[in-house]
Amino acid sequence: MSKNVYVFAEQRDGVIQKVAYELIGKARELADNLGQEVVAVVLGDGIQAAAAELFKFGADQVIAVDAPVLGEYSTEPYAKAMDAIIKAKEPEIVIYGATAIGRDLAPRVSARVHTGLTADCTRLEIDEESKGLWMTRPAFGGNIMATIVCPNFRPQMATVRPGVMQALAEDASKTGTVEVFDAGVSEADMNIKIREVVKDTKKTVDITEAKILVSGGRGIGGPEGFDMLKDLADELGGEISASRACVDAGWIDRDRQVGQTGKTVRPNLYIAAGISGAIQHAAGMEDSDLIIAINKNNTAPIFEIADVGIVGDCTAIIPKLTEALKKLEK
C-alpha cells in the first residue's frame, strides 16, 4: 500500500537547495492531512551530513543515496536511483522542484514507474473526500488555472515552482538517522562522460531572495523606466522586477518576471509601479508583507490587494520618492 509524502531534496555541490526546504514545508502539510510522514530523498556524493539537516526542517525520515557517480547531476544514474527508491518504498506522493534538474528528472522517473506527472505546480492540496492530491498549475499562457488529479496510479507526482511554497522554521531539537539506500548505481550507468564543469561567472539575480522589490509594468513607459525604478531600488537596498508585459516587450530580462509564468515572490516590501494587477501577476506577489501600488487608473485591480495605494503617474511619483529618500539620508 502506498504511503508517505516524498520530496526529492535537490543538492548542488553538496549544498541542499532552498527549494528543497520549501517542498518539505509543503509536504509536512500534505502528510499531516493524510496522517502520514514526510520523507526527504537526497542523491549525491558524501552528502549524508547535509541530508541530516533536513530533519530540522520538517522531515520525519531522510533517505540518502551516496555514490561518486551522483556527485554531479546526470540524468541516467539519478533516474535509476529514484526509480529504485520508489519501487522499494511505494510512496503515495513524490514532489520535485521545477528547477533545471527537477524538470529533467521528474518526467523520466514518472515514465519508469508508470504514473502521471503534473509540471510547474503553484498549489498542492489534499481533497478531503478522496484524499487524493489536487495539483494546480497555470495553463494556456497563465490565463487559466488547471487542477489535475491522478486517481488511478501511484505515486502522485508533481514539480513545484521555486518560491511558491514556504519553508518551515528550523527546529534544532529535531534529529534523526539518515537511511543509506543502495540503489545499485555505478559508473556503468553513465551514458555520458562529464569532462569538466564550467560555472557561469555572470552575476545573476534571484528576485525570490530579495526582501524589497520595485516592480514595473507597462505604465513605466518603456525600458528606460527601469532606470528610474533601479534608482529607487538602490536607495531601498532592493532589486527591480517586472510584469510579463515588460518582459514580452523586451524591456527587461525574463529572470526578473513576477507572476504565474514568471517567479513567485514574498518580499517584505513590494512596490508595483504602473502595474494593473491582472490575476496572473497578482498570483506571483500577493503574499508580500507590504504592497504599495502606484497607478493612474484608480480602478486598477492592483489596488484590491495593495496595502497602500497611490493614484497617479508613477513616472512622476517614483523620482520624487527617490529624491525624498536621499534627503532623509543627509
What's the rounded mean pLDDT across residues 99-107?
92
What's the rounded mean pLDDT across residues 179-200?
78
Cα dist. 115→28, 42, 91, 102, 156 in Å? 22, 21, 12, 16, 7
Asked if pLDDT for residue 141 goes beyond 70, the answer is no
How much is the pLDDT for 9? 93
Q: How confident is the model at residue 30 (pLDDT cuts 50, 70, 90)?
A: very high
How much is the pLDDT for 21? 93
What's the rounded mean pLDDT across residues 76-94?
93
DSSP state of 309: E
Domains, in order of start, for the chain: 5-189 (3.40.50.620), 207-329 (3.40.50.1220)
More confident residue, 262 or 229: 229
Per-residue cell: 196? 569538466
Distance between CA 66 and CA 85 in Å, rounded? 13
Secondary structure percentages of the chain, helix, strand, coil, to 5: 35, 25, 40
What's the rounded mean pLDDT across residues 193-198?
74
How much is the pLDDT for 204? 62
Q: How confident is the model at residue 198 (pLDDT cuts 50, 70, 90)?
A: confident
How much is the pLDDT for 250? 92
In 3D, which of 238, 173, 248, 247 has the Cα closest to residue 205?
238
Coil vs helix vs strand at 121: strand
What's the rounded mean pLDDT across residues 73-87?
91
How much is the pLDDT for 1? 63
Asked if pLDDT for residue 318 goes beyond 90, the answer is yes
How much is the pLDDT for 106? 94
273-309 confidence digits (pLDDT tens):
999 988 889 888 988 999 999 999 999 999 999 999 9
When the pLDDT of each residue in the chain is averaged and rounded to a whole number, the result is: 89
Distance between CA 51 and CA 84 in Å, rounded? 19
Per-residue cell: 235? 536607495
**Side chain identity at 234, as an amino acid letter?**
D
How much is the pLDDT for 320? 92
Asked if pLDDT for residue 190 goes beyond 80, the answer is no
Distance between CA 223 and CA 172 in Å, rounded? 47
Asked if pLDDT for residue 162 goes beyond 90, the answer is no
- Among 17-21, 103-107, 206-210, name the one with the lowest average pLDDT: 206-210
Cα dist. 142→123, 261, 262, 276, 278 in Å? 14, 6, 10, 16, 11
Asked if pLDDT for residue 200 goes beyond 70, the answer is no
Phi, psi of 62 (to 5 degrees): -130, 125
How much is the pLDDT for 70? 87
β-strand partners of 97: 160
pTM: 0.73
